[in-house]
Amino acid sequence: MRSPSERAFAANADARSWRSSPLHDPTRDWPQTNCYVDLWIEALHARGMQPEAMLGFTATLDFEGDQFTFFKPPLEDIETLYGFAVRELALYDDTENHVAEQVARARLVMIEADAFFLPDTRGVSYGLEHSKTTIGVNRIDPAARTIDYFHNDGFFRADGADYDGLIAFGADDSRQDLPPYAEIVKADFPELAPDAMRRAARAQFTRHLTRMPRRNPIEAFAQRLPELIERIGARNPEFFHKFAFNTLRQLGANFELMSSFLAYVGEGDEFKREIETSRTISAGAKSLQFLLARAVMRRKAVGLDAPLAALCEAHDALSSGLAQQDGLVRLAS
């Protein structure tokens, strides 16, 4: 096994003094989005890169019948913008050995983990419940039993028993049998220069706009919501938080990220109206979350029609506004 190396993916990252990306500012509607996107935001931020550039995928959010899309940046977008090739990592030996090998090659290891062992989830999952999430391992020291990792809105360290829990899969018969899914992030190609990155991000966004759902996804959610409320109301109270995460947080966070993307790629006030409308959807989803909690307690979809209608109208306005943007139309033609 290789010894710990200073050639980390983000060599200067320090869990003790980490400052998160502005995209995770606590004043935002959704300081956290989902584990995969948040991880990329912080990993790119650690390399001094612009995470806003990858956010064009926010145009494709849909309602999937029981949840909004768990949105992720396409890997081809990541490779084009930042030069990172992402490849699956097969875990056929102890997790510890594989991670140490790849980290020593200055690669980020993105691996499914149990939040039960992640100190940054204290008060939510840490030591309380087992739940799947994705972390990005930047350093590992098997001798000291420490892992430094990106997760959610920051950069953290796990050690001791938490370290053991995170690397639980292995060849030994006494260890976890099912290997977690893992990927490696390799800096194989050069990052685009700032102007070229902005142009490429606009081109990617234009392509994603052609893949927007034909039906307003918020309207589809609204039609299904009474049935979902009845189902959720029959479950324990904690279940609501899982439902809200996969519906209103994904909806609101997606469009708050879109507003940041449009501010990044736009020139002057080019996307001013669309940015404001994206933020309206973000804030509206946050407000609706509190109303929805009350509706679930009563097991009745009361008081939701007006805010849902406002969100539907905002989404229609945003879609129409983007479709009429001359700069994007010319790029698409």
Tens digit of each residue's pLDDT, the chain (333 residues)? 344 445 789 999 999 999 999 999 999 999 999 999 999 999 999 999 999 999 999 999 999 999 999 999 999 999 999 999 999 999 988 899 999 999 999 999 999 999 999 999 998 889 998 889 999 999 999 999 999 999 999 999 999 999 999 988 644 544 556 789 999 999 999 999 999 999 999 999 999 999 999 999 999 999 999 989 888 888 888 899 999 999 999 999 999 999 999 999 999 999 999 999 999 999 999 999 999 988 887 777 778 999 999 999 999 999 999 988 766 755 544
Task: Compute the distance between CA of residue 206 and CA of residue 57 in angstroms, rounded to an integer.
Answer: 10
Q: How far is CA 64 from CA 60, 219, 241, in A?
A: 12, 12, 18
> pTM of the prediction?
0.92
Task: Compute the distance between CA of residue 215 and CA of residue 217 in angstroms, rounded to an integer.
Answer: 6
Helix orientation angle between 250-265 and 272-298, rounded to the nearest 10 degrees:
170
What backbone phi and psi angles, to 5 degrees, belong to 202? -65, -45
Q: Where are the alpha helices (DSSP H) in 110-249?
A: 160-166, 194-209, 217-233, 239-244
What letter represents residue 177's amino acid? D
